[in-house]
Chains A and B, each alone.
Chain A
Amino acid sequence: MKGSTMKEGIRFYHATARRRVAAFLDEGTFTEWLGPQQRLTSPHLPEFDLPVSFDDGVVIGCGRLAGREVYVAAQEGGFLGGSIGEVHGAKITGVLRRAAERRPAAVVWLFDCGGVRLQEANAGEMAVSEAIRALMACRSAGVPVLALVAGANGAFGGAGILSLCCDRVIASESVRLGVSGPEVIETVMGAEAFDSRDRALVWRTVGGKNRYLYGEVDTLVEDRAAHWREAALAALKAIETGPLRWSLEGLRAESEALARRVEQYGDAGDALEIWKRMGLENPEAIPLMEVPELVAAAKAKGVR
């Protein structure tokens, strides 16, 4: 098999951040900023006698996507769940601020993050709010930010919020998105309300498919490098040629849509009930559907 063909087939779910970046960008175009040799490590983890990582769990830099310059940030889920610590967050904020100034075609954020790094507490929370501010400034400057939720940690907590602050969210069916994770909900509300060990329940609630049907994920992709690239390019084109979503009118429409959602589904106890109310035929079959089949079914019923 040729190198390029192999690269296109890479699945992002279990790949490392470095591998995702290399497979996502045009071959050999990635330049890393503040790479591991700079040893910008967490100042907090040694206090807990925990190992640090030379890149603090995030790979940042610039490269090309179909020839166009893009900035990227890719979180490493294998290091403390891809969590946002002080340095990790500052690196991402730096990418967004630089993008607002230098105006690449887009910023692509490959999410794989369970939220704030607990050991860094307030510094981590502050890093999230700084990233949100920088993300908004980047969008205000006219540089689109794409969220690619690709990793096993999905996007939760502050990362869940950040992903939805982006212009477009692209996800695979295997990933999960939310604010409070299933275990947190169970701890607070009890297992009767949400059993975090029921994998099928967890996936049909916070998984990529339900988030797509709900309208939070814009594009659902099959987990292959070629599909992630294709989806990012299509999103970029839609942003550049489509109507401005980020306007007062757009925000009002979104707010109304959210209110409608609560009205329509607020009393539903399970995603299966919601899918039924959406008019999707045979909702029990949805968890097993392939992505193209699901997307076709959703479009046929006007759900998406």
Chain B
Amino acid sequence: MEHLTFSFPSEPFTGDAAAPVMAGVVGSGNLEVLVERGEPGAVKVEVATSAKGFGATWEAVLSDLAAQFAVGGLHFSINDHAATPAVVALRLRQALELFVK
């Protein structure tokens, strides 16, 4: 397993979301994303992944999220079982959508 921690600047999250939410399942080629409120400021992302050596790819996918959505002050926690970047991006959006609801 590889454990990675990221922090990106992002517009502050303004929704009135309360409860933490989870999207996805830790199956082969899949991942789970837990979204919670974190410290105000940057968006924080913790990744535990079974695919080692893809730090740069994670950084690219996660920085896209921080740039495209107002997620400042949110805390994403990910358990990954070798999902592709496209699946990761999809689950992040799903999780965010659930969190906003």
Contacts and interface: CB of A to CB of B under 8 A. Distances in A.
Interface of A: 16, 18, 35-37, 39, 46, 49-55, 76, 78-79
Contacts of A39: 77
A52 B79 contact: yes
A53 B20 contact: no
17 contacts: A35-B20, A36-B20, A36-B22, A36-B32, A37-B34, A46-B1, A50-B50, A51-B1, A53-B25, A53-B26, A54-B22, A54-B32, A54-B34, A76-B25, A78-B25, A79-B26, A79-B27
A51 B46 CA distance: 13
B36 interface: yes
Contacts of A76: 25
Contacts of B81: 51
A49 B20 contact: no
A18 B49 contact: no
Nearest to A59: B22
B48 interface: yes
A78 B48 CA distance: 18
B30 to A, nearest CB: 7
A49 B51 CA distance: 11
Interface in B10-35: 20, 22, 25-27, 30, 32, 34
Contacts of B26: 51-53, 78-79
Interface of B: 1, 20, 22, 25-27, 30, 32, 34, 36, 48-50, 77, 79-81
B67 to A, nearest CB: 26
A53 B79 contact: yes
Contacts of B1: 46, 49-51
B79 A54 contact: yes
Nearest to B31: A51
Contacts of B34: 36-37, 54
Contacts of A78: 25-27, 30
B76 to A, nearest CB: 12
A39 B77 CA distance: 10
A230 to B, nearest CB: 27
Contacts of B32: 36, 53-54
B79 A37 contact: no
Contacts of A52: 26, 48, 79
Contact of A51 (B20, B22, B77, B79): B79
A18 B23 CA distance: 9
Contacts of B27: 78-79
B28 to A, nearest CB: 9
B99 to A, nearest CB: 12
A39 B34 CA distance: 10
Given A51-B79, A54-B77, 5 more contacts: A36-B22, A49-B50, A51-B50, A54-B22, A79-B26
Nearest to A35: B20
A52 B3 CA distance: 12
Nearest to A49: B1
A50 B48 CA distance: 10
Contacts of A51: 1, 26, 48-50, 79-81
A53 B24 CA distance: 10
A78 B24 CA distance: 9
B50 A55 contact: no
Contact of A16 (B25, B48, B79): B25
A78 B31 CA distance: 10
Contacts of B36: 37
Nearest to B51: A51
B1 to A, nearest CB: 5
The 8 A-B residue pairs with the shortest CB-CB distance in the complex, in nearest-first order:
A78-B25, A78-B27, A37-B20, A53-B26, A36-B22, A51-B79, A51-B81, A79-B26
